[in-house]
Amino acid sequence: MAHTDGFVGPFGNAGMTTHGGKTVFGATVGILMLNTRFPRIPGDIGNAATWPFPVQYKVVRSATPDNVVRGDATPLLAAFIEAGQELVDLGCDGIATNCGFLVPFQDHMSHALGVPVASSSLLQAGLIQQSLPADRSLGILTISSETLTSAHLDAAGIAGDTPIMGTRATSHFTTQVLGDAEEIDFDRARADNIAAALRLVEAHPRVGAILLECTNMVPYAADIRRATGRPVFSIYTYLLWFQAGLLPRRFPSELDDPRTSAP
């Protein structure tokens, strides 16, 4: 008999057996959040309205933008695993994090949690590069080029010579997010992201696609695409793909035949 994870398709659950074993159903993706207070608009991973499917959140209280992006996140690994296990126990079938700088945790977390883990948008890099013409390269836009190291690139399988550009350390976007400010001028933040993207493609004209390391950059992806003319990938594109594998869409078994449909 078929298995359903609390999802009722267009034809209901007739003839299906529903299995339990967890508390929450229908929210297959669990997202581990840094402990922050800055505002998050739609598009940001931490705004639930961003997602076209239900998600579960868990805050890792000891993790902040400053100690993850600018410091050494290694001592936080156990806290992320513990929080991830809580989401798995609750019912999540896959775990994501809300900071691209956590990619060194990927192997440790997936091994410890026993479910698929999407620790960073950077994990898309190989697939994006393979999709590009041979004379084009992937470019990365990050909130902190000063602290995005070879360790992060190696963990994501990214070549060390990949073009990288950061939003300036003194920019409104960087200072407000990494400083965990309670207010953000999103027009200024948008301008900062567009400016950084333009610097990236001007410095590296062969960049054929842009990957946003920072999950807070997603609200500006369409503006970056428009300004640079390059495809833009992010944690949003990654988790749409990720969730589609955790809970594949069920399609109708038969096409409607207009010749037999009721008037």
Q: Is 104 helix (H, G, I), strand (E, B) or coil?
A: helix
Largest CA distance in the chain: 66
CB atoms within 10 A of CB 60: 22
CATH code of the region 122-234: 3.40.50.1860
Measured at the CA of 71, the angle between CA 99 and CA 111, to 5 degrees, comes to 50
42/40 Cα distance (integer angstroms): 7
Inter-residue contact 47 to 40 (CB < 8 Å): yes
Reported as a single tens digit per residue, the pLDDT across 193-232 is: 999 999 999 999 999 999 999 999 999 999 999 999 999 9
Please tell me the predicted confidence (pLDDT) of residue 16: 55
Reported as a single tens digit per residue, the pLDDT across 87-141 is: 999 999 999 999 999 999 999 999 999 999 999 999 999 999 999 999 999 999 9
pTM: 0.89
258/127 Cα distance (integer angstroms): 41
Report residue 187's pLDDT band, with 50, 70 and 90 as the boundaries.
very high
Question: Does position 259 have pLDDT exceeding 80, yes or no?
Answer: no
According to DSSP H, which parts of the chain are helical? Answer: 65, 77-90, 106-113, 125-131, 150-155, 172-178, 186-203, 221-228, 235-246
Report residue 24's pLDDT band, with 50, 70 and 90 as the boundaries.
confident
Question: Does position 19 have pLDDT exceeding 60, yes or no?
Answer: yes
Q: Which of 138, 190, 183, 136 is nearest to 167 (CA)?
A: 190
Query: What's the CATH fold of domain 19-120+241-246?
Result: Rossmann fold (3.40.50)
Question: Does position 14 have pLDDT exceeding 50, yes or no?
Answer: no
Please tell me the predicted confidence (pLDDT) of residue 261: 58
77/64 Cα distance (integer angstroms): 13
Give the DSSP letter of residue 220.
Answer: G
Inter-residue contact 64 to 36 (CB < 8 Å): yes
Q: Point out which residues pair with 142 in neighbouring strands.
A: 166
88/90 Cα distance (integer angstroms): 5
Q: What is the mean pLDDT of residues 45-58?
A: 97
Q: Point out which residues pair with 209 in neighbouring strands.
A: 138
261/24 Cα distance (integer angstroms): 38
Q: What is the mean pLDDT of residues 223-242?
A: 98
CA atoms within 13 A on the CB side of 193: 30
Q: How do the domains of the chain map onto residue ranges?
A: 19-120+241-246, 122-234
